[in-house]
Every structure is written in structure tokens, then in C-alpha cells.
Amino acid sequence: MTNEKMEQRLTAALEKTAPDDVSGVLSRCEVRKGTVINMTTRKPARKRWPALVAACLAVMLLGGGGLFYQQVNAVASVVSLDVNPSIELKVSRSEKVLACAPLNDDAKTILADMGDGADLKGAKLDVAVNAIVGSLVRNGYLNSISSAIMISVEDKDTARAEKLQRELTIAVDGILQTSDAKASVLTQTLTQDAAREQQAQENSISTGKAALVNRVLAINPELQFDALAKFSVEELKDLTEAGAPAMPIGKDKAMDIAVAEFGKTSTAEILHSEVDPKLDESPAHYEVEITGRNGEEIEYKIDAYSGAVIAVKPEMADDEASEAQPAKPAQPGTAQDIGHAKAKSIALNHAGVDANTVYDMNIEMDTENGAIVYEVEFKSGNKEYDYEIDAATGAILKHEAEVDD
């Protein structure tokens, strides 16, 4: 109920109590300085005092009612949910959602069927969070085992913040288990910080994500806030665990590199692609999986800092192998690096096997006695093949074939 409607109802009630003298009664409720009211033994009219008391109470309710309304609808906590989509909810003391806002374009997609968050206004917090996390799962943001969702609760009341944090963690974890999502749940409580709020506003992220970025910067102050703000929660988490040695190339750049590499060996149209950061592993890398329309599946490992392709693992779905399109001829490499495609071609030609009969193909770049080599492993028929090929000359340094048990 708005203040205006509340005042209208109270005024109507007041008119019923003292219909003939509302303005006069209200004026007598004021303190009159320098005025002496003589008290006589004559009994006053009984109707005036009840009206006077009722009017004074009405005035108190008008003021107090507005204050009560403001308290009930005041923002007590700010809850943010971050994956790469960043969503912020402002919550009352009774855990009612007062506002829900998408903070980036990905978040707008998540809230598209919820009126960009407007439909969640007035809902209980647990209901709103259930709807948001469900949309994140449906849109594929929480399906990878390396993905993560971060729950941040900002409140000046520490006890209330911790209570909300526990409740939301249990709720979100339950949703993920029910939906068979593989993401991990990160949580934190925050106190109000003007500098952090400004950072969040300037970079269109939540205060919770801003806090995580600052955690990375505390490890390596040479990194840039605005660049880190573009990374997903899982990348920032991995960076923190890895000691933040440098600025990674990012998921988008890793995908571009893998797509370009895919185009060197396949004419198939890309049907599906997915990238997972592995910044806490050694070497730090991005795993990019690309599926062609012909059923060909290739996994690329892209160095997280240099962008170099450090491993290629092609696979072909058994039921679609017969429909596979022939690969493009291998591109000649430079004097320093023949490339993955050429290394693969050299190994297959030497083994005398048809590329369409090959499965469990794995190509990795390694160093042997100071020289860079390609280690090529694959299976064909009932045999398993291992090759070590000089990355600069294409010379076969080692090879073996054995029956696969």
C-alpha cells in the first residue's frame, strides 16, 4: 500500500469519528506555546474528547504508518549470483525481493522470460533464486564440471548475512543436484564498501564479483581490474588458486584459436563448441571441444597464456563414422613447427592406415633432449600406434605398434 492510499484510508476513518470538525481537532493536537487552558468544574461535552484522541492517534498513524512502510520495504541485503551472467537482487528484512537487475548481456538472456527481473519483484528470495538458477542450468552455464556459481550476500548485519548465505547455499546446491548439473557453489559475505561499489558500477558487474576480482589483484597487482572483470567466476577462481601468474588469453580467444585449427583439418561445418578453463592445472590451459556436423569430435588444449595449441585429440562417433567427410590435406608447417596436422599425416602414412579407421587419436607437443617433438598416439583395428616426430623437420624419431588387448 502506498503512503497516499494509506493517508486516504486514515482520513476517511477520521471523518467518521469527527465529521464536523476535522481541521479544528487537528489544530488542537498541536502544542500551543504561551497559551493557558483554564480547567473548570463544568463537565465538557463527552463527544469532543474521543474525537480529539482519535484524531491525534490518526495523526500518529499517518506519520508512523509511513515510517513502518519505509522500514518494511527498505533494502536490508544485496544478493548477487555470478557465473558469467551477473544478477543482483535487493532484498528486504523479510527476505522479499524488492528489485532484480541483470548486470550484463548474458544476464539479460537468463532473465528474458522473467521480464528482465521485474517479474521477480515481490517474490520470496528462495523462489526468485530457484527461478534464476533453473534458467542458468537450462542455458548451459552450469553443466560443466569446472563451472562455478558464486553467491554473495552484502549486509551490514553480519549475522543476517551469514544466515542468508547458509540458506542460499543449501538451496542452490539442492537445485544443482536435482537438475544433475555439475557446477560447484562458491559463497561469500560482504560488508558495504563504497570503492568496491564504484568498481562494480563502472564495469557492469556485481559487488560480489568485484570482490573476487580484488582477491586476484591482491595476489598480482600488475593485472588490470577492467580486464579481469570480463572473466567468468570459474576463471577467476582458478586464477586465485594458481597464484595469478599472468593475464590469461580468455575463453573467447581460446575458442577462436581452436576454431581456426579445426578449419585446417576438416571441411565440416561446426555444429557445437564448448570451452572449459583449466587455469589451476599445469600447464594452465583451455579445453575446447568442437563437434562437426559430420559427427567428428575434436578436443583442443590451448595454452592459457601463450595461446599455443599444446594438444589435439580427435574422435569420431562410431555410428557416424561412415558419413565422415574427407579431411583437407595437411597444411605445410614452418621450419620451426610442422604443425599438428602434418604430424598426424606423417604418422598415418607411415603406419599405412586409413584416417577413417582411426580412433582414440591424441597429439601432444613435448620436449625431448631439448628438441620439440610431437607425440602421436592412435588406434586402428586391433592395434595401438605410438609415434614421436620432430616438430621442426617432420622426421620420425620413434615409433611402435602393438596389439591392443
The SS3 assignment for 177 reads: helix
326: exposed, middle or buried (C-beta count within 10 Å: 0-12, 13-18, 19+)? exposed
The predicted pLDDT at position 317 comes to: 47
Nearest to 96 by CA among 116, 73, 115, 69: 73
Nearest to 300 by CA among 388, 248, 387, 363: 363
Q: What is the 3-state secondary structure (H, E, C) of 229-298?
A: CCCCHHHHHHHHHHCCCCCCCCHHHHHHHHHHHHHHHCCCCEEEEEEEEECCCCCCEEEEEEEECCCEEE
The parent domain of residue 297 ranges over 251-403
Query: Which value, to the nearest 10 degrees, does the dihedral of the CA atoms of residues 333, 336, 340, 342 take?
Result: 40
Same domain, 387 and 256: yes
The predicted pLDDT at position 106 comes to: 92
Same domain, 291 and 323: yes
- Return the H-helix or E-strand segment holding 347: helix 340-351
The predicted pLDDT at position 67 comes to: 54
Same domain, 389 and 300: yes
Same domain, 128 and 179: yes
Q: Evaluate whether residue 217 is within a structural domain.
A: yes
Same domain, 279 and 315: yes
Question: Hey, how many other C-beta atoms are within 10 angstroms of the C-beta on 107?
Answer: 28
Q: Tally the domains of the chain.
A: 3
Same domain, 136 and 258: no
Same domain, 94 and 225: yes
Residue where one domain finishes, among candidates 202, 225, 242 = 242
Question: Hey, how many other C-beta atoms are within 10 angstroms of the C-beta on 345?
Answer: 20
The predicted pLDDT at position 24 comes to: 41
The predicted pLDDT at position 363 comes to: 86
Nearest to 147 by CA among 229, 79, 85, 105: 85
The predicted pLDDT at position 328 comes to: 34
Between vectors from CA 171 to CA 205 and to CA 110, what angle results, nearest 5°? 40
For 58, phi then psi, to 5°, come to: -65, -40
pTM, two decimal places: 0.61
Q: Evaluate whether residue 313 is within a structural domain.
A: yes
> pLDDT digit of tens for each residue in the chain (405 aa)?
444 544 454 344 434 433 444 344 334 334 333 333 333 334 444 555 555 556 555 555 555 555 555 566 799 999 999 998 999 999 999 999 999 999 999 999 999 999 999 999 999 999 999 999 999 999 988 887 668 899 999 999 999 999 999 999 999 988 888 887 878 899 999 998 999 999 999 999 999 999 999 999 999 999 999 999 999 999 999 999 999 999 999 999 999 999 999 988 878 889 889 999 999 898 999 999 999 888 888 999 999 999 999 998 876 544 443 343 433 333 334 446 788 888 888 988 888 888 888 888 888 888 777 778 889 998 888 889 999 988 888 888 888 888 876
For 249, phi then psi, to 5°, come to: -75, -25
Q: Evaluate whether residue 25 is within a structural domain.
A: yes
Residue carrying C-alpha cell 552455464? 141
Same domain, 230 and 270: no
Q: Evaluate whether residue 398 is within a structural domain.
A: yes
User: Which residues are 378's β-sheet partners?
Assistant: 385
* CATH number, domain containing residue 398: 3.10.450.40
Q: Evaluate whether residue 287 is within a structural domain.
A: yes
End-to-end CA gap in the chain: 76
Residue 124 gets which letter from DSSP? B
Q: Evaluate whether residue 361 is within a structural domain.
A: yes
Q: Evaluate whether residue 37 is within a structural domain.
A: no
For 364, phi then psi, to 5°, come to: -135, 145
Alpha carbons 277 and 22: distance in angstroms, whole number: 72
Q: Evaluate whether residue 58 is within a structural domain.
A: yes
For 66, phi then psi, to 5°, come to: -65, -40
